[in-house]
Amino acid sequence: MKEVNVLVTGAAGQIGYALLTRLASGETFGQDVKVNLNLVEVPQVVSRLEGSRMELEDCGFNTLGTVKNFSDMNEASGDIDWALLVGSIPRGITINGKKIEERADLLKINGGIFTEQGKALGENAKADAKILVVGNPANTNALIGCTHGNNESQTWMAMTALDANRAKAQVANKCNLDISDIKKMTIWGNHSPTMYPDLDNAEIKGESASGWINDQNWIESDFLRIVQQRGKAIIDARGASSATSAANAAIDTVKATIKETPEDDWFSAAVLSDGSYNVPEGLIFGFPLKVDTNGKVSIVKDLPISDYAQEKIDLTTQELLDEKNDIKDLL
């Protein structure tokens, strides 16, 4: 049986808990792949991972290999194929008597975490490792980790699949369609309320999604507002941030990158900009992506961008430039 080594940070949290069985069950990597899990938590709660290890064992998955618990990223990151960086410091937490509300403070606190994680993965993970940052602010956390990983053969991504799935769901509800009818959904830019879900280049049964919907007012008002603010709406409704849907989006991203992308589709994640679509180089930015037979992730080029879409892309670009400026001393 082939084996894959997967690292998950923040593994004792809600998203981590929702991820683990789907990584171990054979759903994600296939029934012919043994999954070895390295679970990482901060020292204060690492003991809770023993319960997760026992539950995974009790599931009886034929595809589950070893499960090891760590509080040291350097020890955990050796020979890793995939890293899912879920753990991060959320807005509103109190540290040393100070409630963290300002974006600049949040970025810098997480910057220290992702500096160390990036170094550990760059030095210890496999040369072709793929790293997906789920913990927010995901794009800039990924930029910090990628910079300190300093390993160009590894692929760093920030998750935008949750936004893409939210966008598909709203379109499916509007048009009474199956989710599978909607393809080529792109989330441009930051995983934040400035991100832009693109219906002009998305397709429904081979036609432009915006043309199929034929309701620009709904697209520019209801659709955009609902997708951009969905995270807040879920917090307001359940008193906690997205967990099951976030874990599902992480699984979707892993699945999208371990096989060649179908000709009639692409997927969305944020990767290091190469200047495509006039996005400045040196940002982790949401793009439409494809994977080739060798597992290489690349940006889909030369899509048409309307003036309206360009305004939205410029807005999310500026936010990421501002975030980069806030953590420039960490790069």
CA distance 46 to 202: 42
Under 8 Å between Cβ of 249 and 161 = yes
CA distance 275 to 194: 20
Q: What dihedral do alpha carbons 23, 27, 28, 29 form, nearest 10°?
A: 100
Annotation says 148 is catalytic: no
CA distance 291 to 9: 25
CA distance 52 to 59: 11
Long-range CB contact pairs, 101-109, < 8 A, 24+: 103/137, 103/323, 103/326, 104/326, 106/137, 107/137, 107/140, 107/323, 107/326, 107/327, 108/326, 108/327, 108/330
The beta strands (E) that lie in 81-206 are given as 82-85, 94-95, 98-99, 130-133, 155-159, 182-183, 186-188, 196-198, 203-204
What are the distances in angstroms from CA 144 to CA 33, 110, 112, 277, 282?
31, 9, 9, 22, 11
Number of continuous H segments (helices) and E segments (strands) in the chain: 12, 16
Structure tokens at 23: 């990584």
- Is residue 231 helix, strand or coil? helix
Active-site choice (191, 230, 312, 324): 191
Encoded amino acid at 233, one letter? A
Specify whether the backbone of 30 is left (phi greater than 0), alpha (psi in -120 to 50) or beta: left
Cite the active site residues: 191
